[in-house]
A = this chain, B = another copy of it.
Amino acid sequence: MSLALQGVQMSDDIGSRLKLVRQIFGLTQRELARRAGVTNGAISLIEQNRVSPSISSLKKILDGIPLSLADFFTLNFSPSDEVFFTAEELTEIAHLPEISMRLVGRRAKGRALGMLREVYQPGADTGDTMLRHEGEECGIVVSGSLTVTVGVQERVLNPGEAYYFRSDIPHRFRNQGAEPCVLISANSPPTF
């Protein structure tokens, strides 16, 4: 599915990116140039990576599509085809004895979203040093209880209770209860 365009890197190669987007929307260089109020020559040079456009002119061009700068840089050209997964098909990503983290789908670049089913055995503790990364994350406790620390805030969450925070705030998960805790969490952009 999607367009057969493999070698398009994420951040670099603005030229290919613009060309692909333009073609997806069925526009010629001249047509896009007309809509955007720039010249076709400029678009040609940009698509060949012979120049690196200024933000202002790139924005003008994208406005002609129309597409936001954020969408332009975020766009994902290689979505996965797989839709359904059994419990066993979830990808195990943690290699700790007391914590199981299983990702819905395979590890894939360019997704908007990562969802995990996590199981914390009694006494399990992530520690608070390692967990800092970009993005935001969210979770709901399904069974058991989990002590969640986010920055200076801490709380014991019981089934049905939830959290939402920015991932760059240091955070820590601990199961101080007697039974295993099942947590379903999501993060965006995906960490794994």
A49-86 CB mask vs B (1 if < 8 Å, else 0) is 00111111111000000001111111010011011111
Q: 8 Å CB contacts to B: which residues of A95-140?
A: 104-105, 111-113, 115, 117, 134-140
Of A12, A84, A155, chain B has the most CB atoms within 10 Å of the CB of: A84
Of A14, A136, A186, chain B has the most CB atoms within 10 Å of the CB of: A186
Collect the chain B residues with CB atoms within 8 Å of residue A105's CB. 138, 162, 164
A156-168 CB mask vs B (1 if < 8 Å, else 0) is 0101111111100
Q: Which of B159, B162, B166, B189 contacts A115 (CB 8 A)?
A: B162
Collect the chain B residues with CB atoms within 8 Å of residue A70's CB. 10-11, 70, 73-74
Give A117 to B183 CA distance when docked, in angstroms: 12
Collect the chain B residues with CB atoms within 8 Å of residue A153's CB. 83-84
Chain B CB within 8 A of A145 CB = no
Q: How many residues of A contact B (CB 8 A)?
A: 64
Chain B CB within 8 A of A20 CB = no
Collect the chain B residues with CB atoms within 8 Å of residue A187's CB. 113
Do A140 and B162 have beta carbons less than 8 Å apart? Answer: no
Give A4 to B71 CA distance when docked, in angstroms: 25
Chain B CB within 8 A of A188 CB = yes
Closest 3 CB pairs of A and B: A87-B160, A186-B186, A52-B56
